[in-house]
Chain A
Amino acid sequence: NAGVTQTPKFQVLKTGQSMTLQCAQDMNHEYMSWYRQDPGMGLRLIHYSVGAGITDQGEVPNGYNVSRSTTEDFPLRLLSAAPSQTSVYFCASSYTGTGEAFFGQGTRLTVV
């Protein structure tokens, strides 16, 4: 049972480039989310999904795009990378809306 798998683990981008962070879960969870972790700020919600075909914005959605075509996958797209998007990104999934989520190992992104 792999749980939540994120790829890549590390990425360096140049300003203006686009990329997709992959997230897959094998637990048949309905709820999936993306967070970013910055020093001194905890984790902040970027986008979330309550099921295939349904997504919504979190606290810091600007510059990011998501889609949910299957229950298993929830990719996060950076449209035009900026240095302010340098962060560690975590994907999470859960059965219910109560927040007892399983997290992936994270993607460390640096934008230069």
Chain B
Amino acid sequence: DQQVKQNSPSLSVQEGRISILNCDYTNSMFDYFLWYKKYPAEGPTFLISISSIKDKNEDGRFTVFLNKSAKHLSLHIVPSQPGDSAVYFCAASALGAQKLVFGQGTRLTINP
């Protein structure tokens, strides 16, 4: 059973517009959520995170929203830039646990 799901394998967005990547989870014990970005032939790099006690966290062009009642989180990138083209992974963990559970990933393509 997939505890963290990213239902969109790919997303294409025009440069300068907003990119919205979505993620759903099923395990109520998750209380920390993260987004990672991955370029080809590289390891994932940490992008932004949010604790379950918050519903929004912002870092520059990146904002993560958490809706606990819907068990849903989203990553907003605005404005989107060509360098944002990558695979984005949503991940979740329980506090104190080092067991990250990842979604399948969404390939984001930013078109000029």
Contact = CB atoms under 8 A, between A and B. Distances in A.
Interface of A: 4, 31, 33, 35, 40-45, 48, 50, 58-59, 90, 92, 94, 97-106
Contacts of A100: 34, 46, 49
A98 B49 contact: yes
A41 B5 CA distance: 10
Given A42-B89, A42-B105, A97-B93, A103 B99 contact: no
7 contacts: A33-B98, A42-B104, A45-B101, A90-B43, A97-B97, A103-B44, A106-B42
B41 interface: yes
Contacts of A45: 99-101
A31 B100 CA distance: 12
Given A31-B98, A42-B89, A90-B44, 13 more contacts: A35-B102, A42-B105, A43-B100, A45-B101, A48-B99, A50-B98, A59-B99, A92-B43, A99-B49, A99-B100, A103-B36, A103-B43, A106-B42
Interface residues of B, number: 27
Contacts, number: 68
A77 to B, nearest CB: 20
B65 interface: no
Nearest to A98: B32
A99 B32 contact: yes
Interface in B42-80: 42-46, 49
A48 B21 CA distance: 28
A42 B9 CA distance: 11
Contact of A33 (B6, B32, B89, B100): B100
B112 interface: no
Contact of A42 (B41, B46, B98, B102): B102
Contacts of A33: 98, 100
Contacts of B100: 33, 35, 43, 45, 99, 101
